[in-house]
């Protein structure tokens, strides 16, 4: 899955857009996906902390991990 496919999957799963950031920022209380220098990362941003941060060598693995992580959170759904 790439970022565009991830967006479509999040919409289909009715995941609230205010629970995630796909631009690698540090918005509060959000699942975050980002890329830097060819490495992808996923974490939960909470009070400036990056909880559970994991790195990936490709977009596919990072997007899959992000999707599986956020869909387990019942508070992320509409």
Please tell me the distance from the alpha carbon of residue 4 to that of residue 23, in angstroms, as a whole number.
12
Task: Give the sign of the dihedral formed by CA 68, CA 51, CA 4, CA 38.
Answer: negative
Q: What's the mean pLDDT in 46-74?
A: 96
Confidence at residue 2, expressed as pLDDT on a 0 to 100 scale: 97
What is the pLDDT confidence band of residue 48, given thresholds at 50, 70 and 90?
Answer: confident
Strand 39-46 to strand 49-56: parallel, antiparallel, or no bridges (unpaired)?
A: antiparallel
Please tell me the distance from the alpha carbon of residue 49 to that of residue 72, in angstroms, as a whole number.
21
Please tell me the distance from the alpha carbon of residue 45 to that of residue 57, in angstroms, as a whole number.
21
* pTM (two decimals): 0.94
Is-contact 77 14, C-beta < 8 A? yes
Confidence at residue 47, expressed as pLDDT on a 0 to 100 scale: 87
Confidence at residue 19, expressed as pLDDT on a 0 to 100 scale: 97
Q: What is the pLDDT of residues 12-32, one digit of tens each?
A: 999 999 999 999 988 999 999
């Amino acid at each position: 899955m790439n970022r565009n496919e991830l967006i479509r999957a999040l919409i289909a799963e009715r995941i609230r857009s205010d629970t995630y950031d796909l631009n690698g920022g540090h918005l509060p209380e959000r699942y975050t996906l980002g890329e830097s220098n060819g490495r992808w990362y996923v974490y939960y941003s909470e009070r400036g902390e990056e909880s559970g941060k994991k790195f990936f060598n490709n977009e596919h693995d990072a997007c899959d991990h992000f999707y599986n992580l956020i869909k387990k959170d019942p508070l992320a759904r509409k």
